[in-house]
Chain A
């Protein structure tokens, strides 16, 4: 960590994008913990990010389905809590929930709430977010020929830290492709518009859903 970064008071230290699939939750595991490897690798990534960035707080940005009638809370937020517990995080946590069908105004509002949470020594933004769920015939949303290109665009934007490209993504198309992570990713793009570094750690579509684990390093003051 450079001295200048240490003095980057008030900045977001960085963001970690992780898969948000419910299969990671223990209550949904079978005898074989099918989501266990994804979860444990995300925990490891979170441990590493916390060690590198030494944040004073974590802000979770998770999407929620506004049509859901249950009271369990969003899967993304529950996954984030699980990862934070797994990583041994005991500091403050704020959860910002954004509708998965959010319009730009709602996305702006969510971004403002994230930034309100900045602390003197910087926060880590944790973003459970998945891309399209229509990549194969067996995918939850069946095959949609537009999905591959959509995912490629989002993955390129994440890999290159191109927040503007993320924001340019078609929100309606994202909805049609069941890309439930698009809204939280767009909030991330709003709060970290110029990451100094970006990296995709892993991406795959084992069940026809595009997952990604990625880091964005925070902007300088």
Chain B
């Protein structure tokens, strides 16, 4: 089954890098590195050079913190989306927001994809995607409100819960008019999940792929990687890439990442192992 983002149609074996571009002063990993406008623009240029297929622009960090209202969120992202659209006409632009009001503003500025990272917290967001012909990422949070950490959350079967929630959200989005081939699902590692939940979601990712909706995974430098390897932020790249490779092998299509070049290499390697991509250059044994 194919899926569409922007003007591009992708096959079911596509493996795309979604580069994180934070317009925040306080996100956990980059700690404001692209808060400055010029730095954010440099980041977009860099990740495009490194092979990113999508940029995911976010104006609010996921973790708890100072409340950012919709006006401030728009100030952080809308003009920037317009700049990216004008500078990179073919680049797929995603915006990480749960708010329909922000979604509308960024779609008007040229966004192709609304990354609803908090799992339908604002039920109007899919209608905005539908109105603009944009794509939508549905995520599983276990029902927790935006910008909260999981606390003692349990599931009978975490993957069943993820699958049921995501399929329900995806069907609802489709019913509201989002094109079926512009809907992705994201198990949302760490969101509403402890480390065991995220590991199980990874191990059983194939069950989500089997729903037929294209799967996005957001793994980059997250706590479940850190707890698994006992590594602090800044030392989680290896674990992230290992999880990326496994997820790619199990059929995920989109990989939200901080380290684009490394992620691109991992995905290209997996694609070639899977027989979906020719090696770059073949000489060994063929001279």
Contacts and interface: CB of A to CB of B under 8 A. Distances in A.
Nearest to B272: A30
Contacts of A209: 287
Interface stretch (B77-85, B123-131, B208-216, B273-281): B273-281
A212 interface: no
A5 B3 CA distance: 64
B277 to A, nearest CB: 8
A50 to B, nearest CB: 27
A200 interface: no
A34 B282 contact: yes
Contacts of A35: 286
Interface string B47-90: 00000000000000000000000000000000000000000000
A159 interface: no
A31 B281 contact: yes
A30 B280 contact: yes
Please tell me the size bucket of the interface on B: under 10
A1 interface: no
Contacts of A23: 282-283, 286-287
A32 B285 CA distance: 16
Q: Is chain A's binding surface mostly helix, strand, loop or mixed?
A: loop
A21 interface: yes
A29 B287 contact: no
B282 A29 contact: yes
A140 B286 CA distance: 9
A30 B281 contact: yes
A22 B283 CA distance: 9
Nearest to B277: A31
A202 to B, nearest CB: 16
Contacts of B283: 23, 34, 207
Contacts of A208: 287
B286 A31 contact: no
A35 B285 CA distance: 12
A31 B282 CA distance: 8
Given A30-B282, A31-B279, 11 more contacts: A21-B286, A22-B286, A29-B278, A29-B282, A31-B278, A32-B280, A32-B281, A34-B283, A34-B286, A139-B287, A140-B287
Interface of B: 278-283, 285-287
24 contacts: A21-B286, A21-B287, A22-B286, A23-B282, A23-B283, A23-B286, A23-B287, A29-B282, A30-B278, A30-B279, A30-B281, A30-B282, A31-B280, A31-B281, A32-B280, A32-B281, A34-B281, A34-B286, A35-B286, A139-B287, A140-B287, A207-B283, A207-B287, A208-B287
